[in-house]
Structure 1
Amino acid sequence: MSMTSEPPKPLRDPAALLEKVLQEWGGAGDLWIFGYGSLIWRPGFEFAEQRRAKVHGWHRALKMWSRINRGTAQRPGLVFALLSGGSCHGMVFRVPREQGEAVLRQLWPREMPLATYDPRWLACQTSHGPVRALAFTLSRKSPSHTGLLTEAEYRRIFAEASGIYGTTLDYAHRTHEELRRHEIRDRALERLLKLLQDRGS
């Protein structure tokens, strides 16, 4: 097997980060998870309740390289991340305490195969009061943070990138559709999709 065909390797130990999150949660109450991208339309786990939620100090951005789910090591795609600054509307999911550990262990291979995200417990405002929920954030110092991308780069990625869960373009459209279904506006995503549409993508 050539070096270029080898899958990327984690920069950190995903299992150690999972154990840290389990300890921080503690298991004394129900588990809350904040979804801002594909977790909204494909959570992949059982939950007892979902609510619209808003977090302050973080915003959704299509600025994380995806080398497995929506791209490859040779042609990376993009997925959403929570970057510091601003605010973000999304959904929180309540998992009963008894199922919390099993759900986290089920979720980890999907969200943390390369341990790219920084899992954080964020204060989420909902119509039924605040909850403390686990969210997957990204540091701008991470090698998976894209930095500023040009229109041409977005168009190329949307045209080419595909991973085990499908294309980056489908991921962006599905997220946009689900946000609209929940009456959540993401103007940055709207502008990006409109820009690509206007250019014939």
Structure 2
Amino acid sequence: MPRAPRQMRLTERHVALMKRDIPEIPGPMPGYEQMTEDDYRRITAELLGPPTEGAAFWIFAYGSLIWKPACDVVELRTGILRGWHRAFCLGWNTRFRGSDEAPGLMLALDHGGSCKGVLYRLPTDAVEANLRKLLEREMSLKPSAFPPRFVSVESEQGPIRALTFCINRRSPRYIRGLTEEQVADVLARATGSRGSMAEYLYATVDHLERLGIRDHHLWRLQALVADRIDAAYPTEH
């Protein structure tokens, strides 16, 4: 049975304190292009390969896809991916969950270690349509800083081949070398048109806890971020 969720230091109150009404900036970030219809069609075909009737198609979620899958799913399992770990290494987000003054950092899979996350199975009769939705959500710009790749995930039912998104260490958006304290500083300040990094962290840790998945790094981060928000808004306790 999954372990009962623990009481987080970071709460909905902290998330509410970071809420801002920020308009979305149109167009791609400097140095990047918007993905086109042809791009999506080509990548979808490459990932699907030759038609295999009735074959299961899984995705491995480690961050926001856990709490916002962006496509239809018909089955959920938990599993462990070896050789990769979740990390706030995708930057700098100056639009959706950050700004030029306080850029955000997003989660991606980076080399080394392991990651326990969620396996989602797409509906067998609508794999292509749902894969397309997923790509539109995760790959709006090119070149992608975290391109899709297939990995082998260990589940209680055995190994599962799943699609996930791993950081490209050659991308200029790859951020490394930050301490936990420095990452917490970023997450406690960044807010953009789609919400704050505090909200992103809160939702991710909350859903991992509900699934019985305990990520020690994210658990420490949520407490550090709560401390920083409390310090920034001392009269709001």
TM-score range, shorter chain: 0.7 to 0.9
1:97 is aligned to 2:124: yes
Task: Give the Å deviation of 1:20.
Answer: 3.3
Task: Give the Å deviation of 1:154.
Answer: 3.1
Where do residues 54-133 of structure 1 align in structure 2 (5 Å cutoff)? 54-65=80-91, 66-72=93-99, 75-114=102-141, 115-133=144-162
| CA–CA distance in structure 2, aligned partners of residues 22 and 9 of structure 1 | 28
TM-score, L = length of structure 1: 0.85
Call closer, same or farther: CA 1:10–1:136 in 2, change over 3 Å. Answer: farther
Call closer, same or farther: CA 1:59–1:44 in 2, change over 3 Å. Answer: same
| CA–CA distance in structure 2, aligned partners of residues 24 and 122 of structure 1 | 12
Contact 2:44–2:132 (CA<8 Å) still a contact in 1? no
Match for 1:46 among 61, 64, 72? 72
| CA–CA distance in structure 2, aligned partners of residues 45 and 69 of structure 1 | 20
TM-score, L = length of structure 2: 0.74
Q: For 1:67-118, what per-residue CA distance to the aligned partner results, in whole angstroms no more than 9, with x for missing partners? A: 4432245642111100010100000111123211111211222211122212
Number of paired residues? 198
The one-letter amino acid paired with 1:98 is: D
Match for 2:47 among 20, 24, 31? 24
Three-state SS of the structure 2 residue aligned to 1:144 is: coil
| CA–CA distance in structure 1, aligned partners of residues 80 and 181 of structure 2 | 32
Call closer, same or farther: CA 1:152–1:86 in 2, change over 3 Å. Answer: closer
Three-state SS of the structure 2 residue aligned to 1:90 is: strand
Contact 1:11–1:116 (CA<8 Å) still a contact in 2? no
Task: Give the Å deviation of 1:127.
Answer: 1.1
Partner of 2:62: 36
The one-letter amino acid paired with 1:132 is: R
Where do residues 10-21 of structure 1 align in structure 2 (5 Å cutoff)? 11=32, 14-15=35-36, 16=39, 19-21=42-44
| CA–CA distance in structure 1, aligned partners of residues 117 and 86 of structure 2 | 9
Q: Decide which moves more: 93-102 or 11-20.
A: 11-20
Q: Which runs of 5+ in 1 are unaligned?
A: none
Task: Give the Å deviation of 1:198.
Answer: 4.0
Greater RCO structure (CA 8 Å; 6+ sep): 2
1:197 is aligned to 2:226: yes
| CA–CA distance in structure 2, aligned partners of residues 73 and 110 of structure 1 | 22
Q: Which has the larger radius of gyration?
A: 2
Q: Which runs of 5+ in 2 are unaligned?
A: 1-24, 232-237
| CA–CA distance in structure 2, aligned partners of residues 161 and 13 of structure 1 | 24
| CA–CA distance in structure 2, aligned partners of residues 82 and 24 of structure 1 | 19
